[in-house]
Amino acid sequence: MRHAAALKRAAGVVVSTVAVASTIGLLAPEVLGFFQNDEEELSRLEVALMACVQRAERDINAERFGYGAPTAEDCKAVVEVDRCGRPIYQSMELGNLKHARALACMQDILKELWPGPVSIEQRYRFYRHAKVLETVSREQEQRLLDADCAEELRGTIKPDVVLHADRHLLRAILVLDLKFPCPGDREPRWTKYGDKSPYDGFNQGQIYQDALGGKALMLSPKGIFD
């Protein structure tokens, strides 16, 4: 059965395919409608995606801390400084590593279990007042990153996973952002935009929904949150 195979690959172990009530279906009912109200199918997808996130958390922590978990002091440690002179904290480094590991796992799952197109780490430029959204190519993104000390990334957004209902790739039915709080007992939360941002007063989830139209949810090792 292809669903069972996908679940096994997600976790690296045999994962139960018994359906449970879907948190995504509860928080984003329109997604359940996209699955023609088949909560079992949506639950299979949800279990598989969560297995990717939880395994990334365990594996990266094991590689860095030997099956332990980072303490608050570990998370605040400065591991290096970027080319703009800004500190890179271990919490940021761990988050990047866990994101990469989880997203690599999730891409295979989504190919099998999501019936529509998927965008992974696509950057967009969003003109909120004009309600205009544009994709940023990988080449354009690299130029922006190269000029990041000049804040060329202002006005852009980059959700981790955008799930589309059809070929209209500037509209989402669901947006998923991975959150790996450090230390792990902290609750996941959306990043708030500051006064230097065109999105001042809003958080990531609100802007993702405003830009792409779909419900925005956070996936963390502790669960799924809106």
Burial class (CB in 10 A: 0-12, 13-18, 19+), 141: middle
Q: What is the pLDDT of residues 6-16, one digit of tens each?
A: 455 554 533 44
Residue 163 in contact with residue 216, Cβ under 8 Å?
no
Q: What is the pLDDT of residues 31-54, one digit of tens each?
A: 999 999 999 999 999 999 999 999
Comparing 150 with 16, which gets the higher pLDDT?
Answer: 150
88 alpha carbon, distance to own chain's centre: 20
> Above 80 in pLDDT, residue 3?
no
Q: What is the pLDDT of residues 86-132, one digit of tens each?
A: 899 999 999 999 999 999 999 999 999 999 999 999 999 999 999 99
The model's pTM is 0.90
Comparing 55 with 147, which gets the higher pLDDT?
Answer: 55
